[in-house]
Structure 1
Amino acid sequence: MRLTLAVAWLLALLALGAIAASQLQFSGDLRRFLPDARTPEQRLLMEELGDGPGSRLLMLAISGDAPEVLAARARDLHAALAGDPRFTLVTNGGEAGLDAFPEDLLAYRYLLTSSFDDAPLDAAVLRDALDARLQDLGSPAAGLVEPLIPSDPTLEVLTLAEAWQPAGAPQRLHDVWFDKAGEQALLLVETRAAGFDPTGQLDAVGTIRDTFAQQAGGSGAVLEVVGPGAFSVDIGGRTQAEAQRIGMVDTIGLILLLLVAYRSWKMPLLGVLPLASAGIAGLTAVALLFPGGVHGITIAFGFTLIGVVQDYPIHFFSHQRAGLSPWKNVRGLWPALSTGVIATCIAYATFLFSGVDGLRQLAVFTITALAVAALTTRYLLPGLVDPSPPDLAGSLRLQRLWHRIEALPRPKWSLAVLAVAAGAAIALSPGAFWQNDLSKLTPVDPDSIQRDTELRAELGAPDVRYVLVAQADDSDAVLGATAALRPSLDALVAAGRLDGYDMAARYLPDAATQRARQDALPDTPALRAMLAEALAGSPFNDDAFEPFVEDVARARAAAPLTRATLDGSPLATAVSGLLLEGEGSSTALVSLSGLDDPADVAALAAQAAAPGIDVRLLDMKDASESLVIEYRGRVLAAMAVALVLLVVTVWIALRQPRRVWRVLLPTLLTLVVVVAVLRLAGVELTLFHLVALILAAGLGLDYALFFEHAGDDRDDQIRTLHAVLVCSLMTLLVFSLLALSSIPVLRAIGSTVALGVVCNFVLSLLVARRRAAITAARAEPAPVP
């Protein structure tokens, strides 16, 4: 019968695991752990975080060899990646002149340039241009200029390239970008996949690294890839590696602890069954309910459930003894066990209403796992255990330990002193209480973030804390509105009150401006007449500039250039990052660097606003902090509701104020003490500390419930002491490993719960446990033979 039940259980787990594996899709999109954006600033921030062009940029640095070798590696990598459909743009600064424009966009240079806005293209302008080209042909720049002259005698390609060059662009060595020290060749790559699409980014980053490795040969050059996509890949890899490591150590620790605790090889095998059932059931539930993908943090958090789930079979094992039916044993434990499960599930159920997708996933995973672990312990595990193991209440070591614990004084006023001291530590600790930096909510390594900042500075990326935003129904309106700000912004730059700015209108004028420039271009007969006049007495042949005539004719007939037309060109990244087009609305951004006084630009924004066009200055730092604050508010509200429901649950289960107080006091006091310790250690609390506090509260409630459930029976108290010792040691092992993790999220959860385990165990032992009713014959432990 036991064998049949065990086989059926295992087959059910395999079937459930197959369902989970077929449905489970992983997601690394950190927006799942952020609340829905409500303000324009938050919506803009979320759009840029997930799907914006900035999230798709990868910055590549090649180092470790001579500059000429690094430049060759950069050119080879550029050539290999440029035609790959995984990437929408690959640039290393080597594109210049005609190479900066796709062939079908060359004619548009006359719609993009402002050279003829004040002085129209006429014979005099052409004559001056031809004289300048003669001088260029006699200079060292002849090799660059000569191919351009037939189609572009005024060199508008080079004029535009110079105008579009960022002020902080990298230096060029050996025709590619290099850092200021000349030790790293730089490339910029834009992926087709969004920044937090882990599958797409893994494919893109893997392609880059594999391509470089194949080309490097015997070179000592080393490739470094940073950016949101690389972070996503790194997070996935590190999370998987650490999960495997922690899972392996946890498994070994669980097996060894159960072997030592129960002196039986069967217990580790049986104890794993409820745990495996919980994990597989939790994964299946989130896979079915969240087809868009389960976040890696949710999966990582699943490993922490071993600290709760393994409590249920351990309490059952520790109370089993000869003469007691396993089914009767588990029925006797069920009131305490089910109360703890229900209370913890209620705490996590409040996350279902938090408005945060990642927390909803955590809630579904946790509730399903805890419920399945409890139910399998209640209705399946008794059919597999040995009904007559030794009674742990007869252990001499446990009796001596229990006797020493029983001799400890019961805390009374000292608990109030502890609470006051902890409260004072929380209130008086220096530094910020909450961590509002959005980047600290990510599991990205701080060194990687620092490296990303360094490379962005090398590539001339602007400081985007302050952004001017223009919003209207169509892109032409916002392009025109931001273009009108250029004279005022130039004045601020000239006055030293602004280091620089960038806007889409620098690269892509609005349609009205393009049409005005088209109308100002001469038609073909007029242009030929101008050329004939300009060529009089010139050494150039009369028919040398037919390509120029054809390009101007194409420019006059061309439809205005749009953002979509730029796809695949070096302009695409610059424009798409500053012009966001949605359904029925467009947003143009003006990034500002080194802004001294935001009031200067705020005043300009107010002046630029017009009917149908909203122009305002956004502080992106404030937007990100408001998002975190709103997020935390929802979590705290959920915790408050959970606390009320937890009290109600315990009250319904125990029905006596004194018993309820004995169970709740250790848990509540532990929460205060843990927060105090974290604050004294200089830790600024994040969302993940709050999630960990709920988990710690669930553990503490279990400890207190079982100590209270043991009543004043000495033997039952010894069995409960054994169970809680094993549970707390196992949990402490799990969360101590998490506290040593390199992933900040897991480290925050691990350190918080590890502190909670120690405090909960001690306080539950001293507060929730009753004085035992001991007969004279059993007042002292028997001597050790």
Structure 2
Amino acid sequence: MMRATRLPALLWLMVLTACLAFSSVQLLRGASLDTRITALLPETHQSPGVDRANDQLSAPFTHRFVLLLEAEQPNEASGALAQTLEDADVVSELRYRPGDYQLDNLLEVLGPSRYRLLGENLRATIDSGDTDDLRRQALASLIMPTGLDQHPVRDPFGLLDRWLDSQLSTRFDTRGDLVTLEVDGRSLVVMTATLSGNAWDTGLQDRLTDAINDFQGAHPDAQLWRSGMVFHAADGAHQAKSEISTIGLGSLIGVLLILLVVFRSPVTIATLLLPLVAGGVFALAITLWWFQGIHLLTIAFGSSLIGVAIDYALHLQCARTLAGREFRLRRMLPGLALGLVTSVMAYVVQAFTPMPGLRQMAIFAGCGLVGAWLTVVLWLPLTRVHTTPGTRALAERLWGVLDRLRGRLGPRLALVLALVAISIAGVRLQGDDSLRLINTSSQQLLGDEALVQRELGRDTGTVYLLVMAHDTEGFLGRVESLNPLLESLMQEGHLGGYTSLAERVPSRSRQSTNLERTRTLYQQQLDQVYASAGLPPALYERALEALEQSPPLTLDHWLASPLGESDQRLWLGEIDRGQVGGMITLNGGIDDRARQQLASLARSDENIELVDRVEQISAVLGELRRQIAQWVAGALVALTLLLALRYRWRTWRVIAPAGGAILTVLTLYALLGVPLNLFHQLALLLVLGIGLDAGIFMQEHPRAHHAWLAITLSIISSLLAFGLLAFSATPVLHHIGMTTLIGLASVWLLTALVQHRLPPDQTTPHDNAHDHG
């Protein structure tokens, strides 16, 4: 018999070993660990161009950072900071002096095409025919040249300098030894750096943070403003480490102490945690096999839902501890099986949603629960447990508390309270899908970021237009056709600004018309310029020859130049269906009027798409929230019908702890004006699972002390593991913790209140009988 019992356990060990090996191989081979929030969207909403655009626009912000430095001795301070960063091995390139910007080949790249590159103002001046001012400026420059290449034949009107002036920010001062920017009357050194590694590398984050702290410690008079993903990642990591060392460590110690007090055996405690580990291994392998990768949100929230499985281990071990040799597993199996089926149904039903993220979380959580359950049933009975008088005494005291509470909430009162709660939540409860929910950056860092982006005109491409065409020329032409609308929105104050490749590289047709305008200018004024400057008339023919030999500027040449390096993020090149594409970033604020007009434009032209990355993420969060609510509500109805087949009129006692706790949370949030978000609802899934288990086990073993002991331990351990997160400063963790705290406390209380009263002689410490009395 023992050999027959051990055989399934051995087979399960072999399955888990295979799962562990498979997952290890997949991860070592580079299995996809997805972090993109857009990957949670339905496939029908995905756009390969948008995904690439998002990644490309984020890349400079991810791989680089900017520092603005103010100091009494800027030369000394900037040099010291540069040396500190280089010594810390956190930067591969650092620019803060004019010489750090290699502009030597600008003349080579732009010089031959200068006659085709005219800004809007210069075009308008030539078209007006009033070009006398241009003649006078050219004459002055010929007498005293100040331009980059203002040669009397190659560029008598300084067209190259005029074009560069329209492309370069005039706010940067490069006349001294440093690149500086004036902000509110203060001169700040602008330092831009490229990271030597990954912004998410905690080692690099620590070295960078230490380097900056060391510098500030040595230069207390200096002030720094920071911009870059690496600083936000470091801020979040620092906060997470701090809270793990306080809240996380505190909750872990609390759970272990409580379990040690109850079971008095480290081995028994290990058996309680073993199913969670086994469930995680099984879930990871199945998810990697099914989806060929896994999203980090799946690991985070799926692991939390698998935590429900500690219920199974607690119920089994509590029953074994109190029953001793009288324990029989077969008497526990109906309750354990129903607990598994209800929790798996509540979670796996979300696999039928159109949201890939929810489907993956559902499969991970469902498989994890199955893996944990099999571990409990197959392995734990083979382990030894210690029967102690202290455990029995604690169970009896808790049973006394239950006796004082039971029977105080009948079905009629429960129904009335449920209807009132549903009415309040339905009328007053609001939703919140703001991106602030997943923000972990400090207010100081957010302030630094806003200042740097505002003063440098530096954006992360949060809102942009994705423009597609059949070829590069068609793309540039289409972008140019959007300029009048964008300029109009700017002039009316609806749009702060925009950046497009067509500003840098005009289309060929526009370059051709620009060349005609330059030819007109030469014909109108050049001979007079030469005559006034006392230059020989023969230069006129040579100047016209240079004009005729001017090649058009191509996008490839521009992006390959130092000045065009920052524009590389705006060009995707070839994308889906043989098309090319690029982005127009919308900067400096965009109001509802601008959004409406641009959205209308995008709807009328399939080659243009308006993308708001913040709204896109909010839409994902909102859709996840709605899908969870709808499918879990449907699952609860189905579970109620299923449970009614076994429990008949007592079904309400099974559903009341979970359903009542959820309604309690929603009603409190509605009354307090707390908007519901995705992370509240993910925490409610945990409440749902533990609540269903509590209701089932109290009906399966209504006279057994071990059932109430296990329920109490499950809720206390979950409150310590999750409820303490209510004190977290991280918004996501705070929402999960607060919901868990209220919800699980309600589960415990409601489980006791809805139980029917028992005569004193019908309770036993270790009743394992299948009794529905």
Q: TM-score, normalised by structure 2?
A: 0.78
Q: Call closer, same or farther: CA 1:294–1:152 in 2, change over 3 Å.
A: same
C-alpha distance in 2 between matches for 1:75 and 1:109: 39
User: Pick from 594, 599, 602: which aligns with 2:597?
Assistant: 602
C-alpha displacement at 1:310, in angstroms?
Answer: 2.1
Superposition pairs for residues 158-197 of structure 1, below 5 Å? 158-165=161-168, 174-177=178-181, 179-180=183-184, 182=186, 184-187=188-191
Aligned counterparts of 2:606 and 2:391: Cα–Cα separation in 1: 79
Cα distance in 2, alignment partners of residues 640 and 51 from structure 1: 40
The answer as to 2:310 corresponding to 1:332 is no
- Pairing 1:31–2:24 present: no
Amino acid at match of 1:164: Q
Cα RMSD, aligned residues only: 5.3
Which residue number in structure 2 is paired with residue 783 of structure 1?
none
CA distance in 2, matches of 1:215, 1:11: 55
Equivalent-residue separation in structure 1 for 2:241 and 2:287 (angstroms): 18
| Alignment partners' CA distance in 2, 1:698 and 1:492 | 52
**Given that residues 278 and 370 in structure 1 are in contact (C-alpha distance below 8 angstroms), is that contact kept between their aligned partners in structure 2?**
yes
Q: What is the Cα deviation at residue 72 of structure 1?
A: 3.5
- CA 39–418 in structure 1, closer or farther in 2 if over 3 Å, else same: same
- Offset at residue 124 of structure 1 (A): 9.4
3-state SS in 2 of match to 1:514: helix
1:589 equivalent to 2:584? Answer yes
Q: Does 1:60 align with 2:55?
A: no
Deviations along 1:119-178, whole A, 9 cap, x unmatched? 499x999965542214655xxxx5xx37665865433343223323569x6787953335
Q: Distance in 1 between matches of 2:329 and 2:91?
A: 60
Pair 1:108 & 2:113 matched: yes
2:626 aligned partner: 633
Counterpart amino acid of 1:707? M
Corresponding residue for residue 689 of structure 2: 698
Q: Indicate how the Cα distance of structure 1 residues 550 and 250 shifts in structure 2: closer, same or farther if over 3 A, else same.
A: farther
Rounded Cα–Cα distance in structure 2 between residues aligned with 1:677 and 1:228: 37
Q: Is the 8 A contact 1:60 1:187 kept in 2?
A: yes
Structure 2 unaligned residues grouped into runs of 5+: 766-773
User: In structure 2, how many angstroms separate the alpha carbons of the residues matched to 1:10 and 1:774?
Assistant: 45
Q: Give the aligned partner of residue 309 of structure 2.
A: 309
Contact 1:470 1:613 in 2 (8 A): no
Which residue of the partner structure matches residue 131 of structure 1?
A: 139
Aligned partner (choices 634, 650, 671) of residue 643 of structure 2: 650
User: Partner amino acid for 1:338?
Assistant: A
After superposition, give the CA deviation of every residue in 1:626-657 in whole Å (9 maximum; x if it has no partner). Answer: 554444333333323432443344345xx232
Q: Secondary structure at the match of 1:758?
A: helix
Using the TM superposition, give the Cα deviation of residue 765 of structure 1 relative to its aligned residue in structure 2, in angstroms: 1.5
Q: Distance in 1 between matches of 2:491 and 2:235?
A: 43
Tell me if structure 1 keeps the 8 A contact 2:67–2:191: yes
Change (3 A) 1:732 1:630: closer
CA distance in 1, matches of 2:585, 2:36: 26
* Partner in structure 2 of residue 256 of structure 1: 257
Secondary structure at 1:66 match in 2: coil
Query: What is the deviation of 1:391?
Result: 6.9
Change (3 A) 1:548 1:213: farther
How far, CA to CA, are the matches of 2:544 and 2:191 in structure 1? 36
CA distance in 1, matches of 2:354, 2:446: 28
Distance 1:198-1:702 versus aligned 2 partners, 3 A rule: farther
Deviation string, structure 1 residues 549-597 (Cα, Å, up to 9, x no partner): 99867x6245x41157414633343474388863325355363756678
Matching residue of 1:434:
431
1:675 aligns with 2:666: yes
Contact 2:279 2:369 in 1 (8 A): yes
User: For 1:389, what is the secondary structure of its paired residue?
Assistant: coil
CA distance in structure 2 between the partners assigned to 1:454 and 1:126 by the alignment: 38
What is the aligned partner in structure 2 of residue 740 from structure 1? 727
Q: Deviations over 1:455-507 (max 9, x none)?
A: 32222357989866755434433432442454565566556676544433222
Task: Name the counterpart of 2:761.
Answer: 775
Is the deviation greater in 266-275 or in 206-215? Answer: 206-215
Separation in 2 of the partners of 1:427 and 1:255? 40
**Corresponding residue for 2:375?**
376
Stretch deviating more after TM superposition (531-540 or 264-273): 531-540
Shift of 1:748: 1.9
Paired with 2:756 and 2:390, the residues of 1 have a C-alpha distance of 19
Whichever residue aligns with residue 29 of structure 1, its letter is: T
Alignment of 1:34-433 (within 5 A): 34-36=40-42, 48-53=53-58, 56=61, 58-63=64-69, 65-66=71-72, 68-69=74-75, 72-73=78-79, 98=103, 101=106, 103-114=108-119, 115=122, 119=126, 128=136, 130-134=138-142, 136-137=144-145, 142=146, 145=147, 149=151, 152-165=155-168, 174-177=178-181, 179-180=183-184, 182=186, 184-187=188-191, 219=219, 225-228=226-229, 230-232=231-233, 234-235=235-236, 239=240, 242=243, 248-295=249-296, 297-301=297-301, 304-305=304-305, 307-321=307-321, 324-325=324-325, 329-386=328-385, 389-390=387-388, 394-395=392-393, 397-408=394-405, 409-412=407-410, 413-429=412-428, 433=430
Cα distance in 2 between the residues matched to 1:556 and 1:309: 74
Residue by residue over 1:739-769, the C-alpha shift from the partner in whole angstroms, topping out at 9 and shown as x without a partner, is 23333222222221221110111111121x3
Pair 1:766 & 2:753 matched: yes
Specify the SS of the correspondent of 2:387: coil
For residues 77 and 530 of structure 2, the distance between their equivalents in structure 1, rounded to whole angstroms, comes to: 42
Q: Alpha carbons of 1:136 and 1:762: their partners in 2 closer, same or farther (altered >3 Å)?
A: farther
Partner of 1:556: 550
Secondary structure of the corresponding residue to residue 259 of structure 1 = helix
Show CA shifts across 1:64-104 (max 9, x none).
633624884599589989xx9988x9788988995693743
Which amino acid in the other structure matches residue 653 of structure 2?
Answer: R
Whole-angstrom distance in 1 between the partners of 2:213 and 2:438:
33
Secondary structure of the residue aligned to 2:282 is helix
**For the residues of structure 2 that align with 1:466 and 1:13, how far apart are their CA atoms?**
46
Asked if the contact 2:431/2:677 (under 8 Å) is kept, the reply is yes
**Structure 1 portions without partners, runs of 5+:** 780-785
User: As a proportion of its length, which structure holds more helix?
Assistant: 2
CA distance in 2, matches of 1:85, 1:519: 47
1:287-311 deviation digits (Å, cap 9, x = unpaired): 444544541x333335535742322
Give the counterpart letter for 2:433 in structure 1: N
CA 1:17–1:747: 2 relative to 1, 3 Å: farther
- Percent identity, please: 24
Distance 1:349 1:79, change over 3 A: closer
- Residues 665 and 616 of structure 1: CA distance in aligned 2, closer, same or farther (over 3 Å): closer
Contact 1:63 1:70 in 2 (8 A): no
Paired residues of 2:139 and 2:532 also in contact (CA < 8 A):
no
**Greater Cα offset, 660-669 or 402-411:** 402-411
Partner of 1:688: 679
CA 1:62–1:345 in structure 2 vs 1: closer, same or farther (change >3 Å)?
A: same
Provide the residue aligned with 1:452 in structure 2: 449
Superimposed CA distance per residue, residues 185-232 of structure 1 (whole angstroms, 9 cap, x where no aligned partner) = 445568899xxx876x77987897799799999555576643456545
Amino acid of the structure 2 residue aligned with 1:411? L
